[in-house]
Structure 1
Amino acid sequence: MSADVVPPQDRRDAFDALDRPELFESIRTRRIFAFLIDVIAVGLLTAAAAVLVFFVGIFTLGLGWLFFAILGPAVPLVYTALTLGGPTAATPGMRAMGLEMRLWYGAKPYPLLAAVHVLLFWFSISLLTPLVLLLSLFSDRKRLLHDIVLGTIVMNAEPLRD
């Protein structure tokens, strides 16, 4: 059995903000900067993928250009699924800011959950306006709406290593 897999009977809330406040210090600020780093990374990856699709379109006599239709949503979705759902449980922006994501009982997120996490983030921002981000001001672990819905927690990575 993997170290990340916790049997259902042993699952309990692993990260209490009152017991370990160091896990949640300056989370909001770090998440904002991590988001900005990831936006830049996704933008660069999308630009590189667009150049690739352009040349594929030339070689396929225009058929490859159909990929331009899915390029916008596909790149950030794959980026998040592979990085946040990977072994580090953090996107490159999150790693740069010293953040990590865990499920409420301590396990690391898997790729499908990471993809759903980013989709819920964008849908909640689109439908409920950015004011939904204010929820973190009232949450003990500074969680956002999509974190609460999915049972995920973003926290400082360094105290987890201790």
Structure 2
Amino acid sequence: MSAASTADYTRQDVFDPMVNPELFAGVRSRRIFAFCIDVIVIALLTFGAGVLVFFLGVFTLGLGFLLYGILPAAVALLYVAFTLGGPQASTLGMRAMGLEMRLWYGAKPYPLLAAVHVLLFWFSISLLTPLVLLVSLFSDRKRLLHDLILGVVVINSSYHQQYVGDHQQG
């Protein structure tokens, strides 16, 4: 990637809904379905980890059973940190729905940011009720409250890859 195309790609107007409305078309509804898929994946991973914790508890004469208290939260946090903060910049649910996350200037999120993102999501839902999700109805980029706080956007990955490919060639 040349310096000129990198500069064009990382400008903030890349994620401007007036310039590229295709980046945000259908993001809100697909994000809901992605969340449902991720909940199922996390539940399956938690079940698998629960089996391991059971055997750990047997071998440690009951001490390992204490991990059951933090197991679902730990599995969810690790899942999001390593998928959303990974090279694909999306969880399995987001990939299935054709979404990815980017920082406001175009970079991919890193694992710590992904972990903070999911923690802010759950804290905002817990403290402010699900009505906090209504923020996306008034956001031009269809961002949620925790997206605004962290400076991230969720976009259509297929259009984004096409846009980057077009600007690398030209």
TM bucket normalised to smaller:
over 0.9
Sequence identity, in percent? 69
1:103 aligns to what? 103
2:141 aligns to what? 141
Q: How far off is 1:79 after superposition?
A: 0.3
Partner SS state of residue 34, structure 1:
helix
Partner SS state of residue 159, structure 1:
helix
Partner SS state of residue 40, structure 1:
helix
Contact 2:38 2:91 in 1 (8 A): yes
1:47 aligns to what? 47
> Over residues 99-138 of structure 1, what are the superposed CA-to-partner deviations in whole Å (9 max), with x where a residue is unaligned?
0000000000000000000000001111111111111111
5+ residue gaps in structure 2? 163-170
5+ residue gaps in structure 1? none
Distance between the aligned counterparts of 2:161 and 2:89, measured in 1? 13
Q: How far off is 1:67 after superposition?
A: 1.3
When you count helix as a share of all residues, which structure comes out higher?
2
Distance between the aligned counterparts of 2:32 and 2:69, measured in 1? 29
Distance between the aligned counterparts of 2:129 and 2:65, measured in 1? 33
**Alignment RMSD (CA, Å):** 1.7
Q: How far off is 1:140 after superposition?
A: 0.5
2:152 aligns to what? 152
TM-score under structure 2 normalisation?
Answer: 0.88
Partner SS state of residue 54, structure 1:
helix
2:168 aligns to what? none
* Structure-to-structure mapping, 1:32-43, within 5 angstroms: 32-43=32-43
2:112 aligns to what? 112
Distance between the aligned counterparts of 2:61 and 2:141, measured in 1? 53
Distance between the aligned counterparts of 2:10 and 2:151, measured in 1? 12
1:89 aligns to what? 89
* Structure-to-structure mapping, 1:45-84, within 5 angstroms: 45-84=45-84
TM-score under structure 1 normalisation?
Answer: 0.92
Distance between the aligned counterparts of 1:130 and 1:66, measured in 2? 30
Q: Read off the aligned partner of 1:144 and give its amino acid letter.
A: L
